A and B are shown apart, each in its own frame.
Chain A
Amino acid sequence: MQMPKPDEATIARRSDLVAAFRDFLPASHVVVDEATLKAFESDGLTAYRQPPMIAVLPETTEEVSRILTLCRDWGVKVVPRGSGTSLSGGALPLADGVLLGLGKFNRVLEIDYDNRTATVQPGVTNLAITHAVEAEGFYYAPDPSSQIACSIGGNVAENSGGVHCLKYGLTTNNILGIEMVTIDGEILRIGGKHLDAEGYDLLGIMTGSEGLLGVVTEVTVRILRKPETVRALLVGFPTVEQGGDCVGRIIGAGIIPAGMEMMDKPAIHAAEAFCHAGYPLDVESILIIELDGPEAEVDHLTEIVSGICNDCGAVSVRVSETEAERMNFWAGRKAAFPAVGRISPDYYCMDGTIPRRQLPLVLKRMSEMSAKYGLGVANVFHAGDGNLHPLILYDANAPGELERAEEFGSDILRLCVEVGGVLTGEHGVGVEKRDLMPEMFTEVDLNQQQRLKCAFDPDGLLNPGKVFPTLHRCAELGRMHIHRGQMPFPDLPRF
């Protein structure tokens, strides 16, 4: 993976830049010592490491504005960072760049139960929002598996999902407003407590923009009332196909469960060995189906869903009787990554999405690839919305295995696109999938996306090297070839 070549002239001006930052930031908020900078050298994608030139840790929106203005004036690149849990290298620093850490933006600013909103600073963790409102019976719906650590600002940057997206949507469907700072230091407020922001949907564009368009300094999310009853079913199937078929039949029956997760045999065995959740070991796949709502509804749907599972050939159907049992069903799924980490020295987590019905084909092709590359693979799958997380097992100390794992991963993502899916469902493009973007998009598609980038950041200073495989200058992208006097399709009907 090639990152943009560090600019030696910028690195040479490092001490001047530090002095300029310290004009308005406390010295301790401008990090320059190597040991501390090393703490920022990677995010959740640990295969890539690069300490930043400088890290700045502002506390106020005005400070963020001054930092960005300074960076623009000096032509210095900026990498924003929340908690640094990105799985795609979205917060990977640059050797000639400033790392803008938002960890000090950690306050819940306002909770408005009547309007059902919470306004928080971007460094507040995803789970802390739920903690702040749960005493009143509310919660924040998107729940990425890193929710104990990941920040809401990072969730906005990545449009994070979780296991309940099928019914409750992703980050983009659950935020109402943001305050953001542009690279020009301009402070913009988009949306608020009302449901639709005016004008072009900048809130929608900022969500999932991976830190390339601006720095979010405040987020207003919508909070929901906790459902009265939540119940999970743990269902075992003799084949993967039957499990996949069952998912389609449940949705076909007009039921949208709160969550519908699938694990294949290697993942089941790894999880069971790790946390003894009581998963059946004599099956090829399990489904965890969560139903929530009023008790009368959950009772009613439990019966229907159990019936569908039996019709699909389930060999075991267990319904959680208590909250402890429900949590136990989830324990194995939620611990799947560390569990796989115990059976293999390293693993590489992929994140493609496919149309659900392609699952059997994709799993079959994946096992063929597994044989070809000589590397094992365990699958956990947000089955309801088609989001696959194959975990490729490898040993980084064995020569060539990391490269083979990456090639295997790329082949899986190409396959996802081939069957009508996409490269990334919730982890983001970052540096990881950057060079695969042409698998899904033409050059025209990618150039149009970059023109949007140009509207926000014409000099390309925000998080360069992420998302786009080729960086064009905005002036070049703005050019238009006009064929004067040419009549299009003379035979076209005109009125």
Chain B
Amino acid sequence: MNGQDFTPTSEEHLAEVVAHAVAAGQPLELIGRGSKRGFGRSMQTAGQLDLSGFSGIRMYEPDELVMSAGPATPLAEIETALAAENQELAFEPPHMGHLQASAVTDGSIGGVFACNLAGPRRFRAGSARDHLLGFRAVSGRGEIFKSGGRVVKNVTGYDLCKLMCGSFGTLAAMTEVTFKVLPRAEKVWTVLAFGLSAEQAVRAMAEAAGSPHDVSGLCHLPHDAAARSSVDFVSGAGASVTAIRVEGPGPSVTHRVAALKAMLGSAAGIEELHTHRSVAFWREVRDISPLLDGATVTGDPLWRLSVAPMDGARTMTGVLDSLPGRGLMDWAGGQLWLALEPGAEDGGVAAVRNAMDGGHATLIRGAADLRARIPVFQPQPAPLAALTRRIKNGFDPRGVMNPGRMVEGV
């Protein structure tokens, strides 16, 4: 079958393109900016649906804490516009272009929502799905529809925004996203504790998360990951680094940093990072840079695990005891990133999923043949898998939208 690529410039064009794809039985790969094309199962799509025609900020009202944009708008463009008003995306979406051998290093806002990505602040501020307020889209039926709105408090009808987040373009092609934005903190400081074991770090992070000090970042870098940081106090620690971020107005931050240092006690070496170094450090954690080989892009397996925070250390150690690689813990232990060395035939899938007791693991990066061979996303129990297929069928009955990106047949 000869595939065709399309670059529609209006919702009506897009609806026609989808109707054509349905009639021609031609599945489409949805592309915003292409930074995450290597994320998900390898697909057999004949053509590309390039959504770059839906780009640009359409509405931004800082005092209403809301922005609307075309889904292909570069994330950097959005972040620049927000920064000019001292605002930000509170869920800190990671920039993932550098993980792939892709010409595009900067992803799109639509891709962020479609993949439901969030950074270190997630455990406090929520994920992408907690910030999408409304969208417009064309379904796999070729119909233009919308859901949600532009206000935070809205329970009118099913919350399809949640469904679109994390659906990886398998249900509909979004043409506009409206999302919540929030003020950026005046001061960002970080308390570092050196030399904790992963298990000790998880306990310390739980204590900090359960304290009244309102922390907004809790991560642990084992020694090998910490050594790759570009922040001198971290790379020069010569030991593992456990980091606790505190954000807010000046007097509040100094007070809380002092309280957290007292809480951690003198058992570990303690250091603090002030705003400039803090921002650089948490950006690295957000983008998983300390696990990567500098600028060299490899296809080595990179896994993301979502587990109960207290299971973080045990799970990470469990995998890395059996397979060579590096890891880091974010979200107080609730999110693990594991960069495995090549070698394991199955990309480490068996070791990773066997080490888990609940939660799920996703292969974020891997060679195309590996992503065709193993379940990239955590397999679901049969009744949930069947429900997933029925939901897909309601939006995209002919399977023209990113078919097979998440699960075969979806």
Residues of A within 8 A of B (CB): 112-117, 137-138, 158-159, 161, 165-166, 169-170, 172-173, 182, 186, 188, 190, 192-205, 207-209, 225-228, 248-249, 251-252, 254-256, 293-297, 299-301, 353-357, 382, 385-387, 420-429, 433, 437, 440-442, 444-446, 448-449, 451-456, 467, 477-478, 480, 482-489, 492-495
Contacts and interface: CB of A to CB of B under 8 A. Distances in A.
Nearest to B10: A489
Nearest to B387: A455
Contact of A488 (B20, B63, B156, B160): B20
A173 B398 CA distance: 33
A294 B360 CA distance: 35
B384 interface: yes
Contacts of B395: 448, 451
A490 to B, nearest CB: 10
Contact of A254 (B186, B377, B387, B407): B186
Most chain A C-beta atoms within 10 Å of own C-beta, residue among B86, B158, B259, B309: B158
A297 B249 contact: yes
7 contacts: A195-B334, A199-B377, A202-B387, A208-B158, A294-B259, A353-B152, A421-B151
Given A456-B387, A489-B13, A293 B146 contact: no
Contact of A422 (B151, B162, B206): B151
B265 interface: no
A456 B86 CA distance: 43
A225 B211 contact: yes
Given A424-B155, A445-B146, A194 B387 contact: no
Interface residues of B, number: 100
A180 to B, nearest CB: 10
A488 B16 contact: yes
A231 to B, nearest CB: 13
Contacts of B64: 248, 355-357
B183 to A, nearest CB: 4
Contact of B153 (A190, A294, A426, A448): A426
Interface string B150-172: 11111111111111011100000
Contact of A296 (B16, B157, B255): B255
Interface of B: 4-8, 13, 16-17, 19-20, 22-23, 61-66, 86, 116, 122-123, 126-127, 129-130, 139, 141, 143-147, 149-163, 165-167, 182-184, 186, 206, 209-214, 248-252, 254-256, 259, 306-310, 331, 334-335, 358-360, 362, 377-378, 380-381, 383-384, 387-388, 390-391, 393-395, 397-398, 406-407
B388 A200 contact: yes
A190 to B, nearest CB: 8
Contact of B397 (A166, A353, A427, A478): A478
B174 to A, nearest CB: 13
The A contact surface, by secondary structure, is loop
A97 B116 CA distance: 39
Given A204-B161, A354-B151, A385-B153, 15 more contacts: A170-B153, A172-B159, A188-B384, A195-B122, A195-B331, A201-B166, A203-B162, A227-B214, A387-B153, A445-B157, A448-B139, A452-B394, A487-B20, A488-B16, A492-B6
Given A114-B206, A440-B156, A201 B116 contact: yes
Contacts, number: 299
Given A115-B308, A200-B167, A492-B7, A425 B153 contact: yes
Contacts of A483: 19, 23
A204 B152 contact: no
B210 A205 contact: no
A195 B123 contact: yes
Contacts of A254: 86, 183-184, 186
A194 B359 contact: yes
Contacts of B144: 444
Contacts of A226: 212
Contact of A300 (B123, B141, B163, B249): B249
A487 B26 CA distance: 13
A198 to B, nearest CB: 4
Contacts of B255: 294-297
B384 A113 contact: no
A424 B154 contact: yes
Most chain B C-beta atoms within 10 Å of own C-beta, residue among A300, A437, A477, A489: A489
Closest 6 pairs between A and B when the two form their complex, measured CB to CB: A204-B162, A297-B252, A451-B394, A488-B16, A254-B183, A193-B308
A433 B155 CA distance: 11
A204 B358 contact: no
B248 A385 contact: no
Nearest to A388: B153
B394 A385 contact: no
B145 A444 contact: yes
Contacts of A200: 163, 166-167, 388, 391
A17 to B, nearest CB: 26
Most chain B C-beta atoms within 10 Å of own C-beta, residue among A112, A186, A195: A195
Contacts of A227: 212, 214
B304 to A, nearest CB: 9
B360 A425 contact: no
Most chain A C-beta atoms within 10 Å of own C-beta, residue among B248, B387, B406: B387
A421 B149 contact: yes
Contacts of B130: 169, 172-173
A137 B212 contact: yes
